[in-house]
Chain A
Amino acid sequence: MATDRLSLSKILSYINQEVHIAPLVTFRIVFGLVMSFAAIRFMAKGWVQDLYVTPKFYFFYEGFEWIKPLDETGMYAIFCIMAVSAFLIGIGLFYRVNVLIYFLSFTYVELIDKTTYLNHYYFVSLVAFLLLLVPANAAYSVDVKLFPKLKRLYVPRWTIGVFKLQLGMVYFFAGIAKINHDWLFRAMPLKIWFAPFIQNEWLGWFFSIKIVPYLFSWCGMLYDVFIPFLLLWKRTRIWAYLTVIFFHVVTWWMFPIGIFPWVMIGSTLIFFSTEWHQKIQAWVFGVENSELRVQNSEYRIENSEVNRSKWSPTIIVLAVFFFIQVLMPMRYLAYPGKLFWTEEGFRFSWRVMLIEKVGTTIFTVKDLQDGREWEVHNLDFLTPLQEIMMSTQPDMILQFAHYLGEEYKRKENIDEVGVFVNSRVALNGYRNRPFIDSSVNLMLEQNDWKHKSWILPFDGENKEVK
Chain B
Amino acid sequence: MKKAIKYTFLVLIGAGLMSGFSCKKKKKKDEPVEVTCDYSVTNMLSGIGNNIIIPRFASLTQTTLALKTEAASFVTQLDSASLVNLQKKFNAAYLSYQKVSMLNFGPALTNGFNMRERMNVFPLSVTTFDLYMNNNNTQPSQNANAAVGFPAIEYLIFGNVDSVLAEFTTGSQATNRKTYLVNLTDYLHQLSSTVYNAWISSGGNYIATFVADGGNSIGSPLSLLVNELNFDFETLKNFKYKIPLGKFDAGIVQPDKVEGYYSGTSVALSAANADAIYKLYLGVAESGTDGEGLHDYLVCLDAYYQTEDVSLANSINSQFALIYSKMLAIPDPMSATLYSNKQVIDDAHNEMQIAVPLLKREMTAAMGVQISYTDNDGD
Contacts and interface: CB of A to CB of B under 8 A. Distances in A.
B215 A199 contact: yes
A57 interface: no
Given A119-B379, A191-B305, A192-B366, A51 B12 contact: no
A195 B372 contact: no
A208 B375 CA distance: 26
B305 A192 contact: yes
A313 interface: no
B353 A218 contact: no
B377 A199 contact: no
A120 interface: yes
Contact of B371 (A45, A189, A222, A384): A384
Interface string A268-308: 00000000000000000000000000000000000000000
Given A198-B38, A374-B248, A218 B378 contact: no
A463 interface: no
B368 A196 contact: yes
A53 interface: no
A309 interface: no
A260 B377 contact: yes
A377 B193 CA distance: 35
Given A195-B305, A208-B38, A256 B215 contact: no
B308 to A, nearest CB: 5
Interface in A173-193: 184-189, 191-193
A256 B375 contact: yes
B27 to A, nearest CB: 11
A217 B374 CA distance: 24
A50 B374 contact: yes
A308 B364 CA distance: 59
Contact of A199 (B20, B24, B214, B372): B214
B2, B15, B37, B305 — most chain A CB neighbours (10 Å)? B305
Contacts of A47: 374
A319 interface: no
Interface in A345-398: 346-347, 351-356, 358-360, 362, 367, 372-377, 384-385, 388
A375 B242 contact: yes
A360 B356 contact: yes
Interface string B248-272: 1111000000000000000000000
Interface residues of B, number: 61
A358 B362 contact: yes
A208 B37 contact: yes
A430 B24 contact: no
Contacts of B368: 192-193, 195-197
Given A210-B35, A431-B315, A359 B214 contact: no
B126 interface: no
B377 A120 contact: yes
Nearest to A385: B372
B361 interface: yes
B307 A215 contact: no
B216 A196 contact: yes
Given A214-B19, A226-B5, A358-B361, A352 B378 contact: yes
A211 to B, nearest CB: 5
A432 B307 contact: no
Given A191-B305, A426-B357, A385 B374 contact: yes
Contacts of A193: 368, 378
A202 interface: no
Interface of A: 45, 47, 50-51, 116-120, 184-189, 191-193, 195-200, 208-211, 214-215, 217-219, 222, 226, 230, 235-236, 255-260, 346-347, 351-356, 358-360, 362, 367, 372-377, 384-385, 388, 412, 424, 426, 429-432
Interface of B: 2, 5, 9, 12-13, 15-17, 19-20, 23-24, 34-42, 214-216, 238, 242, 247-251, 301, 304-305, 307-308, 310, 312, 315, 353, 356-358, 360-362, 364-368, 370-379
27 contacts: A117-B379, A118-B379, A119-B377, A185-B23, A186-B23, A186-B305, A188-B305, A192-B368, A195-B304, A208-B38, A210-B24, A214-B20, A215-B16, A222-B12, A230-B5, A236-B2, A255-B376, A346-B379, A353-B379, A356-B378, A384-B371, A384-B372, A424-B357, A426-B357, A426-B365, A431-B308, A431-B315
Given A191-B304, A353-B377, A377-B238, 15 more contacts: A118-B375, A118-B377, A184-B16, A186-B305, A188-B307, A189-B378, A210-B34, A214-B20, A235-B2, A257-B378, A260-B375, A426-B357, A426-B361, A430-B307, A432-B358
Task: Return the 7 tightest CB-CB contacts between A and B, nearest first.
Answer: A218-B16, A258-B375, A353-B378, A196-B368, A358-B361, A191-B305, A375-B247
